Structure 1
């Protein structure tokens, strides 16, 4: 396997735990969740595996941190995309819903290894309300209810419907029959999906 350009880093000083997570994120980017190996992360960071085990109980402990990093990156990208749009109640009412859905798919295509690893341990119910990528989606749906675009009685379960739609599309593009689709056609299919989700709500 070809190592990520940032792999094989050497640890010199500072927070070893963070350095190990950084290295494991590189592993995930290169090969997904299966590539996250604690002993190898220690070797690439330039420390003994015994030193690594002082910070992580086992490989699953490290994987959970990488998963959290992936979800945080997804959340950051979704929020950045929203920041480029008018605030709630301005412009096309469902533009913000479409924006977070589009950014979700674009993140998956740009970072397939980290995207897959993000869901290795992540659970949407974890964390405070409004936080995380799932919280971003929920917030946008709440905005649609507040502005009268989405009837309140249709709000329950809308998160799962939207999440399943864009996640399924992303997986089809990464691993399924849409993986060889030219970019323009893929974006057209994504536009259609987001339109249908918005209209269905």
Structure 2
């Protein structure tokens, strides 16, 4: 198998979803931009969903790397508290979702996450596991998985509604930071000042 062509197809897909959104991710367009025949992607990705999943895995890898960097920057060596690290992770997630709308949409497509054979669900777990760990530190009194799941759902909702312009209209906010702070207060309790 020619790994460089496989990688090039994924790279082209990442560039395409970033520039034009999910709707542009056709096998034919990816092949055209990669400079190969329209049938060539099928040699590496037997289904369109497999190629889309490979592209989305790149998004999860990037999000995980950004999250790890942000947490490290909040307090090298673990000097920052769990809430500060969760706040940093929340900022990274929202920044990523808003700056990479097409990739964010692709990463959480139900049909791709549902398919157990594509491994995308597993690719999504490291970021969630990190959130669960931090929530467990911040809220040892609660079921960390449930609180983290609820917080993640809230952040996903903020990202989607912000993308559509609904939150700006409803709240008058011009920055998502107050919404993030409010979501953290709702799920972790008010921040001690």
Residue segments in structure 1 that go unaligned for 5+ positions in a row: 1-12
Residue of 150, 163, 176 corresponding to 2:152: 163
Residue of 68, 71, 96 corresponding to 1:82: 71
Residue number in structure 1 paired with 2:180? 190
The TM-score, its normalising length taken from structure 2, stands at 0.80
Residue segments in structure 2 that go unaligned for 5+ positions in a row: none
State whether residues 75 and 136 of structure 1, in contact with CA within 8 Å, keep that contact through their aligned partners in structure 2: no
Relative to structure 1, the CA distance from residue 92 to residue 83 in structure 2 (aligned partners, 3 Å threshold; closer, same or farther) is: closer
Residue number in structure 2 paired with 1:111? 100
Residue number in structure 2 paired with 1:95? 84
| Structure 1 residue 74 displacement after superposition | 1.3
**Matched residues in 1 for 2:120 and 2:101: separation?**
23
**Matched residues in 2 for 1:153 and 1:198: separation?**
10
| Structure 1 residue 90 displacement after superposition | 3.4
| Structure 1 residue 52 displacement after superposition | 1.9
Residue number in structure 1 paired with 2:122? 127
Q: Which protein is richer in helix relative to its size?
A: 2
Aligned ranges for residues 139-178 of structure 1 at < 5 Å?
139-142=133-136, 144=137, 149-178=138-167
SS in 2 for 1:64: helix
State whether residues 132 and 144 of structure 2, in contact with CA within 8 Å, keep that contact through their aligned partners in structure 1: no
| Structure 1 residue 65 displacement after superposition | 0.7
